[in-house]
Amino acid sequence: MTDVGHDGVDTAAIIAAEDAYQVATYAKLPLALVRGEGCHVWDATGKRYLDLYGGHCVALVGHCHPQLVSAITSQAGKLMFYSNVVYSDVRALAAQRLAALAPAGLGHVFFCNSGTEANETALKMARKHTQRRWVVSMNEGFHGRTLGSLGPTGPESFRDPSYPVPVEHRRVPFGDLPALEEVMGEDVAAVIVEPVLSMGGISVADDAWYQGLRAACDKVGALLIFDEVQTGFGRTGSNFFGEQVGVTPDLITGAKGLAGGFPAGVVFVADALAAAIVPGDHGSTFGGGPLACAAMAAVAELIVEEDLPGKAAQRGKELSHALSLLPGVTSVSGRGLLLGVNLDRPAKPVVTALRERGVLVGGSRLPQQLRLLPPLTLSAAEAALFVDALSRVLAETCSGETREAAS
Ligand code: PLP
């Protein structure tokens, strides 16, 4: 087999090597990406793509933002790793800058490496703090693929339904307050929710639902966990979603765009909870390592310097409006730059046709929904390019109605 560790290796050789050696857990696109800059990525043939998938919601500040690249490369030459057994200048900086982004009262962080680890950490902290076992989550929610996070992950397709998850769970429909209130009791440690459903089909609940969630938790002494792995760090138009509905959770989990592409996760912990946490309660060797912290500190600075939440709010509004006018689009859901484009036809052929035209978008569990999670640096011109590409693709592909009439 061709050694793929050299420039100029073709797409077929790269695909053959990954397929031969990587276990087959992912359904992959026939695409080998080699470079990124801003809202664009390039494949091994040199073809350029406008990236509205954002590397799966990760390229928050755009691909290879110069300040992020410089922070990581400079830290790599200074100290690549030392664990939490010692103090670190760059960890102190990351913690300080992230705490400044968090809602008032959530000024403590625990650093880890991924979204699922952040959620498991939050669940563990909630169970320890309340000394209760049960967790309430949403039927449509997604919180990660390791065992502890599969518990609150609703759709059974993500796990083997015959294998019990290790935490006791009650699940209710997203947005349904009476259903939630019915399962709340003094045995509930926490409610965990993605404030905007993403993988389960992009949707936002009424403001009153979030306020009801908070009240239902307070009534029985349960903690409220917002999984902001996708929604956090400005994507929905504010640093964290709760600000928009006047709700402060007890724990917020983050990952994905947090370090702009360097693997990192974080749990923001309410000060009252943090006060009761002692050495030995939890840990992670790589969590808060110097490279991840350099990346997190750079991203946190960019969120403020470039007003990324403001940009996401503004661009999201413009983009939703333009998309909602296209024939073939039935509605646009979501908030800021986490958008679901609901179509009158299956999304899959549209995703493929867009890719062939040099535009990357995602799908969700709703078969007629496109999912947009672009860098928050998306320009008005780039957004217009996408609207134009989608309108052409929709004009070329068949709507559900046309197909029904033809059959
Ligand atoms: N939570 C949400 C809302 C997610 O979308 C994801 C991943 O897509 C996760 C948790 C898990 O994150 P990770 O893949 O970093 O473990």
Q: What angle do CA 62, 307, 115 make, to 5 degrees?
A: 55
> Is the CB of residue 345 less than 8 Å from the CB of residue 398?
yes
**Ligand 1 lined by 144 (C-beta under 6 Å):** yes
154 CA to middle of ligand 1, Å?
13
Rounded Cα–Cα distance for residues 234 and 58 (Å):
12
Specify the pLDDT at position 401: 47
Q: What angle do CA 101, 106, 109 make, to 5 degrees?
A: 80
Q: What share of the chain is helix, strand, coil (3-state, %, to 5)?
A: 40, 20, 40
| Residue owning tokens 């908030």 | 335
- The first and second tokens of residue 400, run together, are 């559900």
> Is the CB of residue 138 less than 8 Å from the CB of residue 173?
yes
What's the predicted TM-score (pTM) here? 0.96
Specify the pLDDT at position 7: 67
369 CA to middle of ligand 1, Å?
19
Among 116, 149, 150, name the best residue to mutate to test ligand 1's pocket (greatest count of ligand atoms within 8 A of Cβ).
Answer: 116
Backbone angles phi, psi at 226, to 5 degrees: -100, 120
Residue among 63, 360, 103 nearest 228 (CA): 103
Total Cβ atoms within 10 A of residue 98? 25
Total Cβ atoms within 10 A of residue 85? 7
> Is the CB of residue 372 less than 8 Å from the CB of residue 348?
no
Residue among 351, 377, 401 nearest 37 (CA): 377
> Is the CB of residue 112 less than 8 Å from the CB of residue 284?
yes
229 CA to middle of ligand 1, Å?
6
116 CA to middle of ligand 1, Å?
6
Domain spans of the chain? 66-305
Q: What radius of gyration, in Å, describes the C-alpha atoms of the chain? A: 21
Q: What is the mean pLDDT of each run of 10 residues along the chain (407 residues)?
A: 71 94 93 97 96 97 98 98 97 98 98 98 97 96 93 84 78 97 98 97 97 98 98 98 98 98 98 95 97 98 98 98 98 98 97 97 96 98 98 86 41
Rounded Cα–Cα distance for residues 96 and 90 (Å):
10
Specify the pLDDT at position 2: 66
Which run of H or E residues covers position 341?
Answer: strand 338-343
Q: What angle do CA 271, 238, 178 make, to 5 degrees?
A: 75
Rounded Cα–Cα distance for residues 361 and 366 (Å):
14
- The 3-state DSSP class for residue 160 equals coil
**Ligand 1 lined by 195 (C-beta under 6 Å):** no
Rounded Cα–Cα distance for residues 126 and 223 (Å):
6
Closest atom, ligand 1, to C-alpha of 144: 11
Burial 44-78 (b: 16+ CB within 10 A, else e): beeeebbbbbbbebbbbbbbebeebeebbeebeee
Question: Which CATH class name applies to 66-305?
Answer: alpha beta
